[in-house]
Amino acid sequence: MFTIEHDFDATVVTLVDDAAPHREEDVTINAFEDCVTLEQVDPRSGAVQRITLSMAMLRDLGAALDLPEGAYRLRDDG
């Protein structure tokens, strides 16, 4: 399950791990104009862990999902 909300400065997607036998904590994805953050509560400490991806890193991640093992660099053809 997931939810989508549109805030003033970001689109917020929350992923809920409802189908797993051992549920993981929800993941919140905040898509801003210049970066994307992923947040998840660490159940041991209760602290929110945050990862920030630049738009270039997000583009690379999207490309990596469809490629075999290896090292790559995307070209800007535009």
Q: What's the whole-model pTM score?
A: 0.82
Instruction: Report pLDDT digits (tens) over 20-66.
Output: 778 899 999 999 999 999 999 999 999 999 999 999 999 999 999 88
Say what the pLDDT of residue 22 is.
83
Q: Give the pLDDT score at 29.
A: 97
User: Are 19 and 8 in contact, with CB atoms under 8 Å apart?
Assistant: no
Closest residue by Cα to residue 16 from 7, 25, 8, 5: 25
Per-residue model confidence (pLDDT) at position 76: 78
CB 35 within 8 A of CB 53: yes
Task: Give me 17's structure tokens.
Answer: 């791990």
pLDDT of residue 50: 98
